[in-house]
Amino acid sequence: MLEQYDLYNLMVLDIETVPQYRNYEEVPPQFQKLWEAKTQTLRKEATPHEFYDRAGIWAEFGKIVCISVGIFTGGKSTGLRVKSFSGHDEKEVLTGFCDLLNRQPQNMVLCAHNGREFDFPYLCRRMLINGLKHPPQLEISGKKPWEINHLDTMDLWKFGDYKSFTSLSLLTAIFDIPTPKDDIDGSMVGHVYWEENAVDRICTYCQKDVVATAQLIRRFRGEELILDENITIVGC
């Protein structure tokens, strides 16, 4: 599986997102009304205020605080080099990521877990909102489905089955890959950002997701996991 892909022309990525404001009270009145309308069918018994901690899921109400990427490296044995862009200034984070992509081959394949549903569209939307041009690898307008070089490890695991979501944590457990969820998980990122101001902690978590996804790709290809000593982490 995936043998048709050149591992060294593949970039694994993950993003971490948070609500744009610390709490619902700080949201401008116009966007409070839009938030209430957007989430009306999802909130059930929760109030818009109670539901706001989930605002980071939507690109219209959230922002990106970290993007981590991993590129496979060669040598005596396959390695992985992981680099992150993180901080409070979302435009700066996105600009750094765009600059990196623009230096890569236009046909580079991007891969993320649940990337088609979340990471790729979220990145594209936030780039537009911040006035940034999409790098070629993220520009899908006018392309046929088979011309879009995006891989999604969750979609790959479905094998055409549309019934359920399979978490990265579950797949890493199945394939005996060290878990990336040993400190925080996605539901905690907003709190860690707004209450603890711990961007570095979020960055570390994001990097672990990239490593786990890269290891999952290795398993899908029937290959051995990358040794820890062959994984290079560039600071957040």
The DSSP bridge partners found for residue 70 are 12, 82
pLDDT, residue 94, reads 98
Q: How many domains does the chain have?
A: 1
Check residue 203 and give its pLDDT. Answer: 95
Residue 184 lies in a domain: yes
Please report whether residue 76 resides in a domain. yes
209: number of Cβ within 10 Å: 24
CA angle 172–166–137, rounded 5-degree value = 85
All residue ranges of the chain with pLDDT < 70 are 180-182
Q: Is 80 part of a structural domain of the chain?
A: yes
Residue range 135-194, pLDDT digits in tens: 999 999 888 888 899 999 999 999 988 877 899 999 999 999 987 666 777 888 999 999
Note whether residue 204 is domain-resident. Answer: yes
Residue 33 DSSP SS3:
helix
Domain that holds residue 201: 7-20+61-233
106 assigned to some structural domain: yes
pLDDT of residue 71: 97
Q: Under DSSP, is residue 10 helix (H, G, I), strand (E, B) or coil?
A: strand
pTM for this structure?
0.94
Assess if residue 15 is contained within a domain: yes
Q: Where are the beta strands (DSSP E) in the chain?
A: 10-19, 62-73, 79-86, 109-112, 150-152, 231-233
CATH of the domain at 157: 3.30.420.10
Structural domain contains residue 153? yes
Residue 130 domain flag? yes
Task: Characterize the bridge pairing of strands 231-233 and 79-86.
Answer: parallel
